[in-house]
Amino acid sequence: MRHPYPASRRWCVLALMGVLWFVATPAHASTYLNEQRSTYLDANSLLNQKKVSAWLKLKPELKDYPLYHYLIIKEVRATHSDYSNKQIDRIISRVDVPLPSRFRNWWLDRLIVRNDWELIIKHFSQSDTTETKCAVARGVLNTGSREDAMRHIEPLWLVSRSQPKQCDPLFDYALKHGLIDDDLIWQRILLTSQKNQSNMTKYLRGLLRSDEVKNWAKRLNQTHRNPRTMLRKHIDRWSQSHYGRQVITYGMVKITRKDSDAGYAFWQELKSRESNAVKRLTDTEKRIAQILGWRRHLHAYSMLANLPESLHNKSTLELMARNALARENWERLLNAINRMSDSDAQSIEWRYWRARALDETGHRREAVELLTSVAEERHFYGFLAADQLGLPYNLSQAGLISELKDQGSLLEVEPAIARIREWLAFNKPYSARSELTHLRKKRAGESDFWVQAAMLFHTWNWHDGAIRAMFASGRSSEFEVTLSHPSPFIRVVRKEAIRHRVPEYWILGIMRQESLFIHDIRSGAGAVGLLQLMPKTAHNVAIKNRLKKPSRNDLLRVALNIHLGTSYFRSLLDQTEGNAVHSLVGYNAGPRRIKQWKEMIPAKDPAAWVESIPFTETRNYVKKILVNFIIYEKIFTTQHARIREYLPVPNWQHALKAND
């Protein structure tokens, strides 16, 4: 037959496969697999052109090929008019592969048009897009109870922004039939007001039915415009109403977010009145205390500590602890940790800080015992503890996870592994990652399987897949470091390291955290490529380097992305006098945060300063990359890198010897 792919293209693809990095297979098996791949390319092209008859002639040749089920899905799409929804459902149920996004979108649209709500619930309940969640909610509304439907509708309704138009039929029905009542409308008005969504707020006020709630919405609007005047005048009366207390909280949050000192002072002014109003406003006080806590305000700890015990949770107690650390108040830190639940207090971070606080308050023996157990772990806090005790880091290979046992058995046991191999062979890493995500849900908790999968992916040089498999195993710290911390693109990295005077292991450490070495990754925030550059940042750096403005696609080029990303990190180092920690803060949260947080956090102890970083994402980012720096430096140099080079901590080694 005449091949739908030009001969030159087919032979280029097959030549590429011939030099793929997969572990060698017997010659006859390799020849057969390459023949199947060639036939797959032909079949895929035929289905794209909807040449179904020609595809059917090839179909028997591919029944044992790993990607066969994807062709079946394409066949359904090409001949959908021949199938009922139930027939398509039966076919999909037999196909244990993640459905391609185009097929899922087509399938969902078809089910919605035909009001096939039961199948929507069956196939899309685990989806995470807003449009799909709204379709599932409509399905539950049409097939289940109102109570079940509301569990889906409420989280879709209670957002501060407009939802996609696909949600309009759901909300229209819910409003018309009273599922979304005045209380839910009021809650959303609070959310949209906080985000200054004035048009949305005005629209929502028009939906209110009750005169009482309409009046409170009017008072909320007045408070939004002039919170101090409204609260001074009305706090006593408003505190007696459920809606009034929410308006008061809204006003106080607005004042405190704008100016922490002003918010604290104004709250103290209101508390000084001889009135019972503030006693009814414990939730308001908690919100103020949390905002002050996030800003590391001088009075945050005392406000948090004085809240009723019933208002405390993991979040508020950790906020107390970090505010104590920001001022290196060790007694307060111990108090906060002692109030945590046993499981929270036993996490490695709070075991480490408990040990530090015990030492600072005169309990060194107990502190050493605790630090010794922490130092056994290959972790940021394990490294800090080892530095203080003068112990080596736990970076041993242990011979535990360093080689692949049997590639063949893994391919036979799990068809998804073979499909991943084929997608990678066709240079379709997105499809391979989709398979891996599907497989992680299917085989969650199977540690031994994921250990071997990680080793197999490593032999394929599929770095992000290998690292994700290591995480899935729950034993990522047990892998030999050259496996858990690979070094792709090393030639480019070394070139840019020399050009910009940045250690190569720093560049790799940042790259591993930013992208897992996926060169074409794009974040939801708009960051692009290996070093996750924002287009505006990349543009500014390019100008400084006398380069033309790069497009988003330009930033996917490995060499350009590493060049601009390394140049940007160098500029941050120059701004911070070479301080790697502050530069990492700037890389993740923006340069202006460096100055802001240095002023906000008075801690002189570098580790305490890092622990006090207000953004959880940035705090964890810095810790993980510092660990990456240590591991990569060990791989690339003969020196025994220590985390104290970045975060100097008290060294107890000499004191301990003296005590002995």
Active site residues: 514
Cβ neighbour number for residue 622 with a 10 Å cutoff: 28
Rounded to 10 degrees, what is the CA torsion of 427, 428, 434, 436? Answer: -10
- The pairs formed by 310-317 with CB atoms below 8 angstroms and a separation of 24 or more are 311/282, 311/283, 311/286, 312/339, 314/340, 314/341, 314/344, 315/290, 316/286, 316/289, 316/290, 317/344
Q: How far apart are CA 560 and CA 562, in angstroms?
A: 6
Measuring CA to CA, which residue among 504, 497, 506, 505 is closest to residue 584?
506
Structure tokens at 4: 């739908």
Asked if 41 and 13 touch (Cβ cutoff 8 Å), the reply is yes
Rounded to 10 degrees, what is the CA torsion of 146, 149, 155, 159? Answer: -70
Cβ neighbour number for residue 145 with a 10 Å cutoff: 10
Q: How far apart are CA 216 and CA 186, in angstroms?
A: 9
Give the DSSP letter of residue 479: B
Asked if 101 and 77 touch (Cβ cutoff 8 Å), the reply is no
Q: How far apart are CA 425 and CA 419, in angstroms?
A: 10
CB-neighbour burial class of residue 127 (10 A; exposed 0-12, middle 13-18, buried 19+): middle
Q: How far apart are CA 583 and CA 495, in angstroms?
A: 21
Cβ neighbour number for residue 533 with a 10 Å cutoff: 25
Give the DSSP letter of residue 401: B
